[in-house]
Amino acid sequence: MKYLPFYALCLALLWAGCNCPPNEQVGDLSLGDQAKAFLPYVGSETLTFTDEAGATMTFTLPRGEEVFSDQLCIRTICTEAKFNSPSSCEYYAAESQRFSFFSDGNEAVLDLLLYSDVYNYNTTDFYDVLQVAFSIGTPSIEAGAIVEQRFTGEFIENETSIQDFFVFTPTLTLNSREFTDVLAYEEGNLGVYIQEGVGVIGFKNAEHTWVLE
């Protein structure tokens, strides 16, 4: 029994020695040129949309352009022995860009995010994503689109982390105006429409469809 404190101390030291080191940065990753060109916003825009009856809805960017640096883990370097304990990884400091548009009175929100992700863990097979969330009143929808593949080789979009995808539409008519090469996502009564190099060109709910002026 007199040896128990000694054994307890050894176990405590062994347990403490199992703690993982902090995450380790191994590189920097900026958004690709194609991704940056996808959205033309600079952070000071005012967007005005008109519905089929001529009523308007205006959006502004109260927070401007937001640029972040995210930890994009590419490889696990340590997993603690303790159950449900955190791991540590090698990561890239990956640039992301966000534009959050709010209508007057905050009735509607258009949240646009560009970020990078890794396709194959333990590699540097990166790709860039546009994620768009739209809400008007209580309902909301969210979808994503691959805007740039940053590596060569096979790329299966359904094997990424994106849950709902925009659908590419060669031609789309909104309130008698025709648009080409549109990314469209509709769910329930809501819809949002994006055009590369232009940004949001329209959206809808159960009552109205709004189109960018």
pLDDT one-digit tens code per residue, 131-152: 999 999 889 999 999 999 999 9
Residue 164 predicted with pLDDT over 80? yes
Q: How many domains does the chain have?
A: 1
Phi, psi for residue 106 in degrees, rounded to 5? 60, 30
Q: What are phi and psi of 6, to 5 degrees?
A: -65, -45
Is the residue at 14 inside a domain?
no
Task: Please report whether residue 205 resides in a domain.
Answer: yes
Is residue 183 assigned to a domain? yes
Is position 106 within any domain? Answer: yes
In a domain, 97, yes or no: yes
Q: Which long-range contacts does 52-57 make (Cβ < 8 Å, 24+ apart)?
A: 52/175, 52/208, 52/209, 53/208, 55/208, 56/213, 57/103, 57/104, 57/107, 57/108, 57/210
For 174, the domain range is 20-75+88-212
Is the pLDDT confidence value at 170 over 90? yes
**CA–CA gap between residue 20 and residue 22 (Å, rounded):** 7
Residue 118 lies in a domain: yes
Assess if residue 7 is contained within a domain.
no
Each residue of 68-90: pLDDT tens digit? 999 999 999 998 766 566 789 99
Is residue 10 situated within a structural domain? no
Mean pLDDT is lowest, of 71-80, 94-103, 161-170, for 71-80
pLDDT value at residue 6: 45
Whole-structure pTM value: 0.88
